Amino acid sequence: MSKCSLVLFLIVLLVSCTEKPKYLDSNIDIEERVDDLLGRMTLEEKIEQLGGTGFDTKVNERFNIPLLKMTDGPVGVRWGQATALPAAVALASTWDRELIYEVGQLLGRETSAKGRNILLGPCVNIHRFPVGGRNFESFGEDPYLAGQIAVPYIKGVQSQKVIACVKHYACNNQEWNRSSVNAVVDERTLHEIYLPAFKTAVQEGNVWSVMTSYNKVNGFWTSENNHLLNNILKKEWGFKGFVVSDWGASHSTVGSVNAGLDLEMPYGTYMNDSLISLEMKKNTIVEETINDKLRRLLRIRFQAEMSNRESKPDEGILKSDEHKKIAYQAALNGMVLLKNEGNILPIEKDKIKSIAAIGPNAAFPRIGGGGSSKVQPFYAVSPLQALQNKLGNSVKINYALGTIIKGDIQIIENKYFTPRPDKNGLKAEYFNNIDLSGKPLFQRTDKEVNFLWYYDAPRWDLHGANDDNLFSVRWTGSINPPVSGKYKFQVMHNDGVRLKLNKKIIIDKWNDHRKSRIDETEIYLNSSEEYEVVLEYYNNAGVSEIKLGWEIPNQNLLDEAVSLAKNSDIAVVFAGLSDHFEGEGRDRDFLILENQDRLIKAVQKINPNTIVVMISGTPPIMESWADDVLAILQAWFGGQEGGNAIADILLGNANPSGKLPCSFYKEQADSPGFDDYRNENLISNYTEGIYVGYRYLDKYNITPRFAFGHGLSYSKFIYKSPVLKKTGDHKYELKFTLSNVSEKDGFEVAQIYLSPVKHSIERPLKELKAFEKIFLESMESKEIVIYFDEKDFSYYNVNNSAWEIDKGKYNILIGSSSDDIRQTVSLNTLED
C-alpha cells in the first residue's frame, strides 16, 4: 500500500470510528433511527425494556436509552405537590375544547417540571351506571363527547413532549372485583359505545400510549386480549405507540407478549428475560414480536424528543399564576347550574344581610376523588373560605356542619388545637419505616389529621421512600375541648394506630388491618383544661388512611344548622361526597345521600330561600328535595380552585356555562347497568347493548331528573334559521343562528343530535354528533356552521365487521341539551 493510500485509509477509518450513530442523529427519519438502535441491541437488552421498576423502565447503560418515567394522574401530577385540577367529569362538563387543550399543556409542563415524561391519563371509560367508582375520573356517558374532550387533552400534554396515556382499554366500567370480572360485550356495542373514545384518541389525538384495564373482555384479560390489542388497536386503527399494562394487570407471559402488550408495569413479573427466553426456545414467542414492541417503545421516545438529561422541578411553573388561572377556569366552566327557580341566583348581596353556609362540604375543600387521580395541591380553597374572602364584612356568613357524610367522622378542627407562636395544628414526624424508629425523615405542622393517601404517601415529602408505601407518623400537640362532658374520640384508619391523651392510651389497634375501619372510645374532658394528645400511625404497604375526629357532647348538628338557616336570609347547603366514597378500587354502595337528604329537607322547610351546591364526582339521587329547593348547582370535585369558582357563580361574579356529561337519574333502577352487577360468577353481561345513558332513557321513555347536556345560564339564548345543504356524497353543511337575548354575556353549548326516522337496523332515538361552545356578548348573534360526513350516519355492521352507512331518513336536532331541542331539520340519505 502506498503512503498516500495508507493515509487515506486511516482518515476513512478515523471518520468511521467517530461518525455519530444514526439513532443519535435527530435529523434522520425516526424509523431509520429506531431500526439502527434496534439492530445494535442484544435480545437480552430488548427484553429488559419490556418490564418496569415501579414507575420507571429499566436502565440501558450501553446505549443510554432514556428511561420512561411515569406519573399519575389525569387531573394533576402525583409526584409531589402540584396544581390540582377539577375531576375529569368536571372537565367534560366544560364542553370546551380550547380550555381542555390549555389543561393538557399545564399537565405536560408540570410533568416535565417533576422530571417525569409519561402522564397516565386521560381516562375515557364510559359511565355505564352511576355508582361506578371511577366515573368521576372519566368524561361521561357519551362516546363522542368523551373522545372530543380526550383529543385536546392529549394534544396539549404531548405539545410539551410528554407522553399521554389513554386508559383503561377497555370496558373498565366498574371497580367491584375489577381484577376478576369478565365484561361480556357484543361487537356492535364495543365499537359504538366503549371503543370510540379510544379510537378518537388514537386517530385524531395521535396518543403515544394506551393502558390496558384490569378486567376481562369476552373471556380474555385485556392485557392479553389479541382481538382488542392487535386486531383492533394496532391493525384496524393503525396505532403506532406502545401498550402498557395497568399496575399488576398482567397474567401470563405468552398471552401478554403475543396479544400485543408492549410494557408490563410495575415490574416484569411475566415479561422478563428468563420467562420470555424459555418460551422462545419452545417457539411460542418469536423475536420479531419482541422487535415490534421495541420499535414502538423507541419510536415514542424519539417522537417525544427524550433524553436522559434530568429535568429539575421548576417551582415557578408549578405555582405560576397562569396555572392557577387555568385551574380556576376549568372549575368555573365545568360547574353546571341545574335549577334556578325564581332567579334566586345570582345572590344579590346588596339585598341580604346574612347567608347560612351549611353542610359537610362547606368548610373543607373536596378537590377530587380518591385513588390514582388524587392530587396534593399547594393550597385548596373551601366554599366557606371563598365566600368569606369575597364578601368580607358586607354580608354575615353563619356556618354549621349540619351532618357528617355517612361512613365518615367529624374531623377535630384546627381551632381546637392549642395555638403556637408559629402556626396552629399538630407537630407531625414522618418516618420511612413502620415502627417510628430512628430519626424522622422530615417534620412539619399538620393543621388536622384528615388524610387518604394512595401511592403518594409520603412520596411527596419522604425523598427516596420505597414504592410499597411503608411509613409511620407521630402527631403531637395539645387540644382544648369547647365544653365539658363525655367526648367520643374516633380514629378512621387502616393498619396500626394508637391514640394517647395525657400519656394514657385510649385507643390501641397497633396491627395490620388492610381495610379502613373506625375505632372509638368515650372519655370525659373538662373545658377548662388543656390535654396533651399523641396519635401514632403506621401503614404497611398500599393505600393509607388516617383521620382523627370526635363527637362533642350534647351536640345536635342538625338542630344547629336549622337554627342558623332560620335566622339567615339565604341558606346554602354544601352537600355531596368525598374521596372516601368515590375512588379507585371501589364502587359506591348507594346513590341517596341519606342524612344529607334529611338536612336539606329540614333547612328548606325552615328557610324557603334554600340553594343546594352538590360537590361530588357522580350524581346522587335528589328526588326527596329537588322539587322544593330553589336552586341546585352541580359543582363536582372542583380541584384547588373549586371554592372560588363556586363563590363566584353564587355571587354573580361569573356566569355558569357547564353542561352535564351524564344523565342524573331519578332512581337507581333507571340505569340498566345494575341488572347483572355484582354477579357471583364474576360475569357482567352488557345486555343493554348500545343503550347506555340517555340512549337507554330515550328507548324506554324514562324521564331523568336532569338530562344529558343540561345546564342553565344567567343568560338567555335562542336558536333560529337552520339551513342544511348537501356538499358531497354523504356530506352536509348545517348553518343556524345563535343569539344571546339577555343583558348578560355568556357561553352556550349548542348540541347537535342525529335522530334516525327511517332506518334499516335498530338505532338509538338520538345520538350526539357535534357541539360547539360559543361566547356571546349581550344581544350578540353568531352564525354557527357544522359539518357532517358518512361516519355520522354509520353503524357497526357485525356481519362484515365494518362501519356501514344506514341510508334512511334522519332528523337533525339542534338544542341546548338532549331534552331541550330548539330546532329540527330533516334529510333523506336514500336520495344520495
Choice among 72, 96, 142, 246 that is catalytic: 246
Backbone φ and ψ for 219, nearest 5 degrees, come out as 95, -10
Q: How confident is the model at residue 311 (pLDDT cuts 50, 70, 90)?
A: low
Question: Where do runs of H (alpha helix) occur along 506-548?
Answer: none
Q: How confident is the model at residue 831 (pLDDT cuts 50, 70, 90)?
A: low
Residue 87: its pLDDT value, please?
98
Active site residue 246: yes
pLDDT tens figures, 680-708: 899 999 999 999 999 999 999 999 999 99
Q: How many CB atoms lie within 10 A of CB 370?
A: 25
Q: How confident is the model at residue 514 (pLDDT cuts 50, 70, 90)?
A: confident
Average pLDDT over residues 98-113: 97
Report the CATH fold assignment for 411-551. Answer: Jelly Rolls (2.60.120)
* Highest CATH level, class, for 715-831: mainly beta
Residues near 812 by beta carbon (within 8 Å), at least 6 away in sequence? 722, 724, 734, 752, 753, 754, 755, 788, 824, 825, 826, 827
Ranges 41-50, 214-223, 329-338, 444-453: which has the least confidence: 444-453
SS3 at position 543: coil
Q: What percent of the chain has pLDDT over 90?
A: 84
On whether the CB atoms of residues 428 and 445 are closer than 8 A, the answer is yes
* Cis amide linkage into residue 168, ω under 30° from 0: yes
Residue with cell 435529523: 27
Residue 313: its pLDDT value, please?
60
Ranges 403-407, 518-522, 638-642, 711-715: which has the least confidence: 403-407
pLDDT over 90 at 315, yes or no: no
pLDDT over 60 at 459, yes or no: no
Q: How confident is the model at residue 310 (pLDDT cuts 50, 70, 90)?
A: low
Question: Which region, left, alpha or beta, applies to residue 245 given φ > 0 means left and ψ of -120 to 50 means alpha?
Answer: beta
pLDDT over 90 at 420, yes or no: no
Question: Where do runs of H (alpha helix) occur along 114-185?
Answer: 143-158
pLDDT over 50 at 811, yes or no: yes
Element (H, E) at 338: strand 336-340
Any bridge partners for residue 376, and if so which?
Answer: 81
SS3 at position 166: strand
Residue with cell 386486531: 231
What are the residue boundaries of the structural domains of the chain, listed by start? 1-29, 318-407+557-710, 411-551, 715-831
Q: What is the DSSP string of 374-406?
A: --B-S----HHHHHHHHHTTSSEEEEE-----T
SS3 at position 170: coil
**End-to-end CA gap in the chain:** 78
CA distances from 805 to 110, 219, 797 (A): 44, 30, 9
Establish whether domains 318-407+557-710 and 411-551 are of one fold: no
On whether the CB atoms of residues 80 and 313 are closer than 8 A, the answer is yes
Higher pLDDT, 157 or 10: 157
On whether the CB atoms of residues 197 and 124 are closer than 8 A, the answer is yes
Element (H, E) at 559: helix 557-566
pLDDT tens figures, 610-630: 999 999 999 999 999 999 999
The CATH homologous superfamily to which domain 318-407+557-710 belongs is: Glycoside hydrolase family 3 C-terminal domain (3.40.50.1700)
Taking the C-alpha atoms of residue 196 and residue 213, their distance in angstroms, rounded to an integer, is 16
Residue 467: its pLDDT value, please?
53
Taking the C-alpha atoms of residue 375 and residue 153, their distance in angstroms, rounded to an integer, is 18
Average pLDDT over residues 154-169: 98
Q: Are strands 216-217 and 182-184 parallel, antiparallel or unpaired?
A: parallel
On whether the CB atoms of residues 590 and 341 are closer than 8 A, the answer is no
Residue 318: its pLDDT value, please?
92
pTM (2 decimals)?
0.93
Amino acid at 178: R
Q: How confident is the model at residue 181 (pLDDT cuts 50, 70, 90)?
A: very high
Q: What is the DSSP string of 399-433?
A: EE-----TT---B--GGGBPP-SS-SSEEEEEESS
Residues near 431 by beta carbon (within 8 Å), at least 6 away in sequence? 437, 438, 440, 441, 471, 472, 473, 474
Any bridge partners for residue 491, and if so which?
Answer: 519, 548
Taking the C-alpha atoms of residue 74 and residue 98, their distance in angstroms, rounded to an integer, is 17
